Amino acid sequence: MSDEIAIRVNNVSKNFRLPHEKSSTLKGVFTSLVSKKRKGYETQHALKNISFEVKTGEFFGIVGRNGSGKSTLLKILANIYQPNKGTVEVRGKLVPFIELGVGFNPELSGRENVFLNGALLGFSRKEMQAMYKDIVEFAELERFMDQKLKNYSSGMQVRLAFSLAIRANTDILLVDEVLAVGDADFQRKCFEYFKTLKRNNKTVVFVTHDMDAIREYCDRALMIEGSKIVKIGSPDSIAQSYHKLFATPTTNKEGASQDRWGDKLAYTSDMSIQLESNTITVTQKVMANQSLSGPVIGFRIRDAAGKEVTGTNTAIENTKIHDLRQGKSITLEWRFANILADGQYLIDPAVLHQDGITVSDWWNDSKRFTVKKNRHLPYTLDPGFTLRVSND
């Protein structure tokens, strides 16, 4: 990394006009001219006064929840959108990697798509011919190149697209969640490619929800929330703030979430979680406001990013709960093996009617707990591995 600046974003704002009623016909234009009604659109501020710099050779992460403006920012960097205010300076050649296989045409053969996509990356036919063999070999698609792309499986398409994308000869790369697609094998290839980029001192701007990737690859990161930059800093501090982001807004004074619904005939009145190194015990107390016959009671566990990890209920466990009478309560104690990896988790208890569908009380994010195992796995589950190595 050097002190040279690769990207300088200076006070950038971006608004989108969202028409109330899409007046993209001439009639719409004329009628709005004549009637002089209130303006027919709403302004959405996608980005407000964004400023930051990315140094040459830096791996720079951008995080934020959905709709915070990350992708708009990336598109402005890629010069796809024009900012309403502010400037973006880019030094060096920039390739947006916003989506894999841009411009792929399903009606064309794999071979023709390679040349078409290559042209979009700026390679002449001659240059592509020189690289063609490598591209196809890397994608492991030698036998399929003369078939139409529409006959490819999605995995094959992604492989071909990725194999093409990494040929891009560029100084700056913009990456938008490409890691989210593809199977484990493909993700491994992506990570390997990232390591190569890092070795070759390329500048990468990287948008993701994956905090482990942020910690592992980024030199610095930026968090965007509500169209504004809330923090720029080390990957660790950004990852922490990101997790907090999901904690604060849904929690009230007592620390319990209000993201809760249902008819409340019966409801979860208390949840407690006891963590031991090998077992987790969840104690769930359910109170009945009114009588509820044969309720189905259960819970679900999600990780800090909101992804569902596991869960169960009394119907799945084939345990029939007797009818709850008004004013009575019942306590359930769930025990299960603690195979969760390090990290923070949310627990969402639920009380359902007999049909298992009608919600009596659904309580998202009722409690949070943190699993600490003193070792870091970049995955959700840590079932405890044993290893035996034998020399053959």
Partner 1 sequence: MKVIELSEVKDLKNRYRYSTILLKQLVKTDFKLRYQGSFLGYVWTLLRPLALFAILYVVFGKFLKIGDSVPHFPIYLLLGIVVWNYFAEVTSGSVAAIVGKGELIRKINFPKYVIVLAGSFSALINLCINFVVVGLFLYINDVDIRTIATTLPIFIVELFIFSLALAFFLSAAYVRFRDINYIWEVIMQAAFYITPILYPLSLLPENAAKIIMLNPMAQIIQDMRYVLVTDKTLTMSGVYNSHYIRAVPVGVTILLVVIAAVYFKKRSRYFAEDV
Per-residue 3-state assignment (H helix, E strand, C coil) for the chain: CCCCEEEEEEEEEEEEEEECCCCCCHHHHHHHHHHCCCCCEEEEEEEEEEEEEEECCCEEEEECCCCCCHHHHHHHHCCCCCCCEEEEEECCCEEEECCCCCCCCCCCEHHHHHHHHHHHCCCCHHHHHHHHHHHHHHHCCHHHCCCEHHHCCHHHHHHHHHHHHCCCCCCEEEEECHHHCCCHHHHHHHHHHHHHHHHCCCEEEEECCCHHHHHHHCCEEEEEECCEEEEEECHHHHHHHHHHHHHCCCECCCCCECCEECCCCEEEEEEEEEECCCEEEEEEEEEECCCECCCEEEEEEEECCCCEEEEEECCCCCCCCCCECCCCEEEEEEEEECCECCEEEEEEEEEECCCCCCEEEEECCCEEEEECCCCCCCCCECCCCCCCCCCC
* Residue closer to partner 1, measured from CB, 55 or 111: 111
Taking contact as CB under 8 A, which single stretch among the options 74-82, 221-229, 249-257, 363-371 is the one that binds partner 1?
A: 74-82
Task: Give whichever of 25 and 35 is closer to partner 1, judged by the CB atom.
Answer: 25
Stretch binding partner 1 (CB under 8 A), from 73-81, 190-198, 288-296, 353-361:
73-81
Binding region for partner 1 (CB under 8 A) out of 36-44, 75-83, 196-204, 323-331? 75-83
User: Footprint of partner 1 on residues 225-284 (CB under 8 A)?
Assistant: none
Stretch in the footprint of partner 1 (CB under 8 A) among 79-87, 226-234, 246-254, 347-355: 79-87
Residue 52 Cβ vs partner 1, minimum distance, rounded to whole Å: 20
According to the binding rule CB under 8 A, does residue 78 interact with partner 1? yes
Q: Which is nearer to partner 1, 99 or 177 (CB)?
A: 99
Q: Judged by CB, which is closer to partner 1: 33, or 387?
A: 33
Of the candidate residues 61, 96, 295, 349, the single one contacting partner 1 (CB under 8 A): 96
Span of 101-109, 129-137, 327-335, 377-385 interacting with partner 1 by CB under 8 A? 101-109
Q: Among the candidate windows 48-56, 95-103, 138-146, 298-306, which touches partner 1 by CB under 8 A?
A: 95-103
Q: Interaction with partner 1 in 346-375: which residues (CB under 8 A)? A: none
Closer to partner 1 by CB, 147 or 289: give it.
Answer: 147
Closest Cα to residue 375, out of 347, 328, 343, 333? 343
**The binder of partner 1 chosen from 3, 21, 26, 385 (CB under 8 A):** 26
Compute the least distance from the CB of residue 105 to partner 1, in Å.
Answer: 7
Residues 111-130 that bind partner 1 (CB under 8 A): 112, 115-116, 118-120, 122-125
Residues that bind partner 1 (CB under 8 A): 16, 24-27, 29, 75, 78-82, 96, 98-99, 102-103, 105, 107-108, 112, 115-116, 118-120, 122-125
